[in-house]
Structure 1
């Protein structure tokens, strides 16, 4: 099912509004059933936190869509048929993807190749061979268009399909030296971003991009990486998302090999050739959706009644049962159920005094260590509806953080 043009505008307005990220977007949609209703509720929610929130206007959203259209791109919404299935399975999936190029590559099985910007000649050569072999085996190569390993991965897979994930807007190519590669890439592959057109990437945007690189792929291969590098952040995201992590071993004398060697020691699969990746991932392709094994197994017990109440689209089919690695969907929580299903009255909840008491109690229960939503509700002694509303207010107020798996922690000043 596809969004209407008006719904797409409302979705864009909501995700572009101040303090609204993918998880808050989903929480609002679960609560209010649609983007238009959530936008209407935002001013009151903001007033309850004691501050105002800048809401993206209709004109701003229309300008962004027009700029994307002029560039030849389009918006794909979470849950639409063209949205990449592995990506929609992560709990921080972007509600809207800006896509440029051949969107059909997003529906093919992908492998992410990441590594050092200051790559060695041997690392670049190995990456090119690995990307070419994976492409010939039917996999689309995903990377971040950075210098070094990313550039080699994209360049070697132009003929078989590659996806570049940008940290900025689709019209803000970084680094600028890869502008020509970018134009060649979108002729046979695709570029994606969750950021607005015209957005120049900042340092904090690159880790955010990395979760999409791993989220699009069934597995992530780290070719060369220092002990503290963005590539290891991508590997961590891949592990949290339940995806296979591979690492290329290197000399202990080369600092660029420290990250990969450390990953292998921690349990990553050693990768010395494409066959090692292909052998590990090919069994996953028996599931038509090309989802990781854990997700495919989870779907066997999927209950449609647990879906959230979004008017626009059905949620991705993810099991609501908590998993050790794969995060549970917010749709599986009490926030996604109508009041009668959760045993709660529509008007339940105290006045201002009651709200202040609940706020103080929940904040007292939250600390720096993440806690699950279910545990927080139980410990607070409050209804899921009251806690859910308060958490949205606290997040808009910048008082709490949401973590993979739906866990929550307090921002400690």
Structure 2
């Protein structure tokens, strides 16, 4: 049982507006959003502190903060298109996605919300897939759908679209790299319409009008793996984006499955290598069903949205700020190491990192690592 029965929490209208303003403001990503909420107790309090934090981080001028009017316009336009902006814990927000470190604070969902609450398996693979690969993707998606799983994928050409089409009747989820009104590739408009018409859903963390860029696809890939119990990779070359999804899935603690292929086919080089690295070799849907059965029984406990009380804020002094900043560079480093080497409290280190990020000087990576831009 993949329970999300207790997920009935809901943001107030005022909170939703503040959350949207905060996540759409300059230099605020999902991890920074969470840090700001934990520091200041609410999005509204964080919005008030953004200019001061950015100034302390070395910004020449404050980053752009989205106004209430702009946020109202986005909410209105989203409703017009049938897109709901939901927070972790609300109906429609995939419960497993809410558990990842960089879960979107607000997720734009369109279609059947109940499909998003069911257990999912992601299927990804080559855009330039072979006939055999396309056939197997369809077969795997149909069999997993018959076993009760929603199929998640990225609406791309090749394996993705084959998996979506084969699971239209049982439920499929499309994770988009752009806004809901900027489907990529454009020729899959009709496929997305079919998904929505037949009880499936689409998700995106991007605002309406956002045209996907190259760097948006890895961000999208973390959503594909994040919603799922596991990710099945069918045909992936050595430099395939599907391998990025597999890596992210492993970092998120998801099961990674790979379909073996001929060593003579470069489209199978990546999947064969995944198997060498420890991915589970699969040849049928039963392999996946058996592997994820124990995981489905574990209850899902979501983190709270806005804390009742803000975390204690330990304002860094000039010396503390200088010591933490001096330890940062282009190489990635973790918070524990910064605390130890700079001889400061975790609260001080986190505050300095927030200041630098809001000044556009810091980049966050998986596993809690950071580096200077």
Q: TM-score band, normalised by the shorter chain? A: over 0.9
Structure 2 equivalent of residue 310 of structure 1: 307
Match of 1:294 in 2: none
Residues 239-388 of structure 1 correspond to what in structure 2 (within 5 A)?
239-289=250-300, 310-311=307-308, 338-339=311-312, 349=315, 354-355=317-318, 357-388=319-350
Pick 1 or 2: higher relative contact order, CA cutoff 8 A, min separation 6.
2
The answer to whether the 8 Å contact 2:50/2:358 transfers is: no
**CA deviation vs aligned residue, 1:307-365 (integer Å, no higher than 9, x gap):** 68635xxxxxxxxxxxxxxxxxxxxxxxx9743xxxxxx6x646xxx42x323211222
Determine whether 1:54 maps to 2:64. yes
How far apart, CA to CA, are the structure 2 residues paired with 1:133 and 1:338? 47
Does the CA contact (< 8 Å) of 2:51 and 2:62 recur in 1? yes
Q: Deviations over 1:281-313 (max 9, x none)?
A: 122222354xxxxxxxxx6xx9x9xx68635xx
Structure 1 distance, partners of 2:127, 2:311, is 49
Query: Which secondary structure does the structure 2 equivalent of 1:85 belong to?
Result: coil
Offset at residue 398 of structure 1 (A): 2.8
1:97 maps onto 2:107 in alignment: yes
1:218 to 226, 229, 236: 229
How far off its partner does 1:385 sit?
Answer: 2.7
* Structure 2: gaps spanning 5 or more residues: 1-8
Distance (whole Å) between structure 2 residues aligned to residue 401 and residue 18 of structure 1: 13
The aligned residue for residue 84 of structure 2 is 74
The two structures have a TM-score, normalised by structure 1, of 0.84
Shift of 1:405: 2.3
Aligned to 1:37: 45
Pick from 201, 206, 209 the counterpart of residue 220 of structure 2. Answer: 209
Q: What secondary structure is seen at the aligned counterpart in 2 of 1:401?
A: strand
Distance of 1:278 and 1:96 partners within structure 2: 30
Partner of 1:184: 194
In structure 1, the residue matched to 2:127 is 117
Tell me if 1:65 matches 2:75: yes
Task: State how far apart, in whole Å, the 2-side matches of 1:190 and 1:46 are.
Answer: 38
Aligned to 1:145: 155
Matched-pair contact (CA < 8 Å) for 1:30–1:308 = no
Instruction: Give the TM-score of the pair, scaled to structure 2.
Output: 0.93
Equivalent position of 1:84 in the other structure:
94
Q: 1:403 and 2:365 equivalent?
A: yes
Rounded Cα–Cα distance in structure 2 between residues aligned with 1:349 and 1:203:
38
Structure 1 segments of 4 or more deviating over 6 A? none
Could you tell me how far apart the structure 2 residues matched to 1:160 and 1:152 are? 14
Q: Which moved more, 1:373-382 or 1:144-153?
A: 373-382
Does structure 2 retain, via aligned residues, the 8 Å contact 1:105–1:189? yes
Tell me, yes or no, if the aligned pair for 2:40 and 2:311 is still in contact at 8 Å. Answer: no
Inter-partner Cα distance in structure 2 for 1:217 and 1:203: 23
Q: Which consecutive residues of structure 1, in runs of 5 or more, have no partner in the other structure?
A: 290-298, 312-335, 340-345
The offset of 1:409, in angstroms, is 2.5
Hey, what's the Cα distance between the residues in 1 that align with 2:326 and 2:64? 29
**Other structure's SS at 1:75 match:** strand
Asked if 1:232 corresponds to 2:232, the answer is no
Structure 1 residues 58-81: Cα deviation after superposition (integer angstroms, max 9, x where no partner): 111111111111111211112334
| Matched position secondary structure for 1:113 | strand
What SS does the aligned partner of 2:371 have? strand
For the residue of structure 1 that corresponds to 2:100, the secondary structure is: coil
Q: Is the 8 A contact 2:74 2:208 kept in 1?
A: yes
Q: Report the count of equivalent residues.
A: 362
Per-residue deviation at 1:237? 0.3
Q: How far apart, CA to CA, are the structure 2 residues paired with 1:184 and 1:82? A: 19
Contact 2:121 2:149 in 1 (8 A): yes
